[in-house]
C-alpha cells in the first residue's frame, strides 16, 4: 500500500476510518430507533439542541485554548462533532451523565431513557434545561480536549485529556472514577466546562419557555449544588480534587494558582500530559498512596472523602524542578 493510501485510511487523530464509518452507521440506526419509538423524547432533545448557539460555544472554546497557548490550527471545531441519541445506556454504553463523548467515533451519544426520566418528565423545566446544557458542554469539552491514539510496541493507547487507556478497553464502571487519572481528567473536564458554561450564558442567556430564561446569575446557585437538582456528584468530587491538586502544586512551586491552572488547561487541550523531566507530575504527586486509597473506595461518599481529605505528600526538590520545567516549556511556546 502506498503511504498516501494508508494515510487516507486513518483520520488526523490516527483512527481507522473504516471502523469509524461502521460505528457511525450503528449510531445512525440507534438514532432512527429512538426517532420511531420515542418521538417525544427526540423532539425534546432536538428542541433543546436548537437553543444552543454552537458558533458562540466554539468562540469560547477557541479563545480559551488560545489563551492557554494552544495553536489555532489544533483547536477542534465542535460543529464537526455529530450528536446521536441511543435508546438507553445498555445498548451503547453511555457512561456519563445523560450523554457521553465517544472518541472512537468522534461523536456525542445521548441516552434517551435517562433524558426522558430525569429531564423530559421533570417538573422543574429550568433545572432540566440547565442540566442538559451543562452535560452537553461537558461532553463537548471532552471532544475539544486532547484525543490522541498512539502505539507502544504492540499495544495501542488512547489518551483523552489527561487519561490514558489501552485501546479496546472502554471503562465499564458507571462513572465512579477508579483511577487517579480518570478522577483527575473528569475534574479538569468539569473545570473547563464550567468556565465555558458561565461565559456562554453571559453571552447567550438561554430561553427555557415563554416565561423563564436562564442567566448566568440563575445558574450560579445551581452550579454550587444548591439548586433543586445537583449535577453529577462525581464531577463535583473530581473538581474539588483538581482544585486541591492545583493549590498544592502552586504552593510548592511558589507560583500563582492561575498560572498553574492555565498550564493544566493547555495540557488538557494538547495532550502534553503534564509531564516533567522526571516523569509524570500527576503520578509523582499522587503516588502509590493515592492509588491505594482510591482502590479502597466503594461508594461515592468514600470517593468524596478521599478527594476532600487526601493528604498530598510533601513536595520534593525533584518534583518542584519538574513543575518549573513544565511551566517554562509552557511559557516558551
Note the residues at the interface with Zn ion (CB under 5 A).
96, 186, 189
- Smallest gap, in angstroms, from Cβ of residue 96 to Zn ion? 5
Is 273:215 a contact under the CB 8 Å cutoff?
A: no
Largest CA distance in the chain: 62
Nearer to Zn ion, 175 or 205 (CB): 175
Report the SS3 class of residue 30. Answer: helix
Nearer to Zn ion, 96 or 199 (CB): 96
Q: What is the DSSP letter of 297?
A: -
Which residue has the CB atom at the shortest distance from Zn ion? 189
Helix, strand, coil percent values for the chain (each to nearest 5):
60, 10, 30
Nearer to Zn ion, 186 or 199 (CB): 186
Nearer to Zn ion, 182 or 248 (CB): 182
Q: What residues contact residue 1 under an 8 Å CB cut-off, 6+ apart?
A: none
List C-alpha distances in Å: 116 to 89, 97, 120.
12, 13, 5
Q: What residues contact residue 38 under an 8 Å CB cut-off, 6+ apart?
A: 87, 112, 116
Nearer to Zn ion, 48 or 142 (CB): 142
The grid cell for 278 is: 522526571
- Smallest gap, in angstroms, from Cβ of residue 60 to Zn ion? 18
Report the SS3 class of residue 279. Answer: strand
CA 253 to chain centre: 27
Q: How far apart are the C-alpha atoms of 204 and 53, rounded to whole Å? A: 8
- Smallest gap, in angstroms, from Cβ of residue 138 to Zn ion? 6
- Smallest gap, in angstroms, from Cβ of residue 186 to Zn ion? 5
- Smallest gap, in angstroms, from Cβ of residue 189 to Zn ion? 5
Nearer to Zn ion, 186 or 272 (CB): 186
Nearer to Zn ion, 188 or 208 (CB): 188
- Smallest gap, in angstroms, from Cβ of residue 79 to Zn ion? 20
Q: How far apart are the C-alpha atoms of 15 and 24, rounded to whole Å? A: 13
Nearer to Zn ion, 137 or 208 (CB): 137
- Smallest gap, in angstroms, from Cβ of residue 269 to Zn ion? 15
Nearest Cα to 179, choosing from 247, 280, 327, 102?
280
Q: How far apart are the C-alpha atoms of 115 and 121, rounded to whole Å? A: 8
- Smallest gap, in angstroms, from Cβ of residue 139 to Zn ion? 7
Amino acid at each position: 500500500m502506498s503511504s498516501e493510501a494508508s494515510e487516507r485510511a486513518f483520520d488526523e487523530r490516527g483512527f481507522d476510518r473504516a471502523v469509524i464509518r461502521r460505528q457511525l452507521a450503528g449510531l445512525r440506526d440507534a438514532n432512527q430507533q429512538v426517532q420511531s419509538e420515542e418521538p417525544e423524547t427526540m423532539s425534546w432533545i432536538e428542541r433543546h439542541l436548537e437553543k444552543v448557539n454552537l458558533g458562540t460555544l466554539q468562540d469560547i472554546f477557541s479563545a480559551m485554548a488560545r489563551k492557554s497557548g494552544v495553536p489555532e490550527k489544533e483547536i477542534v471545531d465542535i460543529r464537526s462533532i455529530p450528536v446521536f441519541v441511543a435508546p438507553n445506556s445498555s445498548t451503547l454504553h453511555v457512561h456519563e451523565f445523560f450523554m457521553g463523548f465517544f472518541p472512537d467515533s468522534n461523536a456525542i451519544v445521548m441516552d434517551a431513557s435517562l433524558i426522558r426520566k430525569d429531564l423530559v418528565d421533570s417538573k422543574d423545566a429550568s433545572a432540566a434545561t440547565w442540566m442538559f446544557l451543562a452535560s452537553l458542554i461537558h461532553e463537548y469539552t471532552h471532544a475539544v480536549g486532547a484525543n490522541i491514539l498512539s502505539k507502544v510496541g504492540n499495544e495501542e493507547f488512547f489518551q483523552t485529556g489527561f487519561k490514558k487507556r489501552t485501546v479496546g478497553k472502554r471503562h465499564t464502571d458507571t462513572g465512579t472514577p477508579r483511577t487517579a487519572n480518570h478522577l483527575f481528567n473528569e475534574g479538569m473536564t468539569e473545570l473547563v466546562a464550567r468556565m465555558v458554561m458561565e461565559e456562554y450564558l453571559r453571552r447567550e442567556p438561554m430561553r427555557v419557555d415563554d416565561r423563564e430564561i436562564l442567566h448566568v446569575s440563575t445558574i450560579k446557585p445551581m452550579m454550587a449544588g444548591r439548586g433543586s437538582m445537583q449535577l453529577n456528584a462525581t464531577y463535583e468530587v473530581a473538581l474539588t480534587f483538581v482544585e486541591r491538586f492545583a493549590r498544592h502544586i502552586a504552593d510548592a512551586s511558589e507560583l500563582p494558582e492561575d498560572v498553574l491552572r492555565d498550564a493544566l488547561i493547555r495540557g488538557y487541550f494538547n495532550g502534553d500530559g503534564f509531564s516533567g523531566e522526571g516523569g509524570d507530575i500527576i503520578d509523582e504527586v499522587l503516588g502509590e498512596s493515592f492509588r491505594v486509597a482510591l482502590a479502597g473506595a466503594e461508594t461515592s461518599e468514600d470517593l468524596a472523602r478521599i478527594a476532600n481529605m487526601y493528604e498530598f505528600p510533601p513536595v520534593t526538590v525533584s518534583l518542584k524542578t519538574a513543575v518549573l520545567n513544565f511551566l517554562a516549556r509552557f511559557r516558551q511556546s
